[in-house]
Amino acid sequence: MRVLIRADASSAIGSGHVARCLTLAQVLRDSGAQVLFACRVLPGNSLARLQAQGFRTVALPADYPGENPSLGIEALLPWQADIAALGDCLAAEGRFDWIVVDHYGLDHQWQGAARQWARRIAAIDDLNNRKHAVDLLFDQNLTANDRAYAQRALNPCRQLFGPRHALIRDEFRRVPLPINPRPARVLVNFGGLDGAGETWKAMRALADFTELEVDFVAGAANPALEQMQAMAAQRPKWRLQTFVSDFAQLMAQADLFIGAGGGTTWERAALGLPTLCIAVAGNQQANAERLAAAGAHVYLGTSEQVDVDCLRQATGFVLSNISLRQSLAQCSRRLVDGLGARRFAVALSGESLQLRQAGSADERLLFDGRNAVTVRRWSVNQALISWQAHRAWMTASLANAQRLLLIGQTTDGPVGVLRYDRCGTRAEVSVYLFEGRFGVGWGRELLARGEAFVSQHWPDLTAIEAQVLPANAASIKLFDEAGYTQSACRFERVLKDQNHD
């Protein structure tokens, strides 16, 4: 699979768009995909960072005819100029399976024109202020839902909405952090630029907490850097850094985070790190408020609303309240499990999923897969199956014309198993995934491919049903979303009206 990612970074835009696309790109590359980035050569761009991570890049111009540089980062770009520049760069590249665009300045017009290079288009959004003409629409905010985008999506598309899809790196998927009865360490970060001066505000608010160790991470471009360096130098328990190579480790050591409502929101949530949040941009407010209502962090307001004294009091209150910090950690971890990038990657690579009929050479693969603890836990027969019994079952299954045994696989290996047992014009389906494939969407892709396969294999089939244990919420949700109708804990998918000639 070949994927083109269109995103920009600059001193004004920040690096968040490229950073989250880089997380997605790394997961795609691990699964065998080829990824190319297209970025403008703006001041503060991330082209060198992408290249250092081993990704190919193409450089688009910093200036476009008709562009007004005084407009904010949410202003639309002259899309014709961007398409023309992209065309020059892609002349020798051929077609892509997907283009993923993460850009406030590019809307449905750009997306329509970009289809000349790709079969499918995916858009990453978090503002909901422009129209989209895409095959997949992504928004990781808690405010995202199909109603919110009803007037923005110009054609039916698959939707990946909400924090469970948050694009965060694997290093933030750690064992839940302990909540210390006596908190000792605070981490402060408001991004690299921090034009609102929130890091400097936090320093003054924390000045009286002499017993705390405090890590401040502020970019070299921070306008108050000299003042902060002077203040930090007077306090041996304070550390001010302009660059951190392992931010996840620094978060894991903290008892409280003070920061903005941007990309680190999801990293903090995945770790269960109690947070005081201040919105430093208009597009952060609604999501920050919803997360606070869900109990995932404490939202203090916008940078204009929060002064030094307010931040000082809030810090003291949260640090002294262990029950509050425990609740914040639990609620945030329930929202974000760290698998969002994998879910996005599966949604893109699902088209590459292939089904084949199992053969005798697959005996060991199916034996290990069926006996996995995670599979047996939700099987009707939960007993460990012996090798002898499995071989006899495989022999009988492969000789049974009323049984269809399928293996799903993609470029990076096998994904799962489908079994269809026919009775008259109906069939019962059973599905399980191999280790490492759980919870990211492969079950949905398997059922979709399996339905097409079995309908072609048995064209007179009228319905498919499934049996699910009552406590297996994940499977119940899977079949429900696949279009099956639930009756007790059995599901049925009608393929053909029996009364229809």
- Residue range 2-168, CATH number: 3.40.50.11190
- Residue 438: the pLDDT is 87
d(CA 370, CA 471): 19
Sheet arrangement for strand 413-423 = 354-357, 403-410, 413-423, 426-433, 463-467, 490-494, 485-487
Beta-carbon contacts of residue 314 (< 8 Å; ≥ 6 apart)? 276, 298, 300
- Residue 500: the pLDDT is 44
- Residue range 172-335, CATH number: 3.40.50.2000
- Residue 430: the pLDDT is 93
Q: What is the mean pLDDT of each run of 10 residues along the chain (501 residues)?
A: 95 87 96 96 94 97 88 88 97 95 96 97 93 96 89 92 93 85 96 85 96 93 90 96 90 96 92 96 91 97 96 98 97 94 92 91 94 83 89 95 95 92 95 90 92 95 90 87 78 67 38
CATH 3.40.50.2000 residue ranges in the chain? 172-335
| 108 within 8 A of 131, measured Cβ to Cβ | yes
Known catalytic residue at 17: yes
- Residue 488: the pLDDT is 59
Q: Which of 311, 282, 312 is nearest to 299 (CA)?
A: 311
CATH 3.40.630.30 residue ranges in the chain? 353-494
174 in a labelled binding site: no
CATH 3.40.50.11190 residue ranges in the chain? 2-168
| 476 within 8 A of 484, measured Cβ to Cβ | no
- Residue 497: the pLDDT is 61
- Residue 501: the pLDDT is 38
CATH 3.40.50.1820: does it fit domain 353-494?
no
- Residue 423: the pLDDT is 94
267 in a labelled binding site: yes
Q: Give this prediction's pTM.
A: 0.85
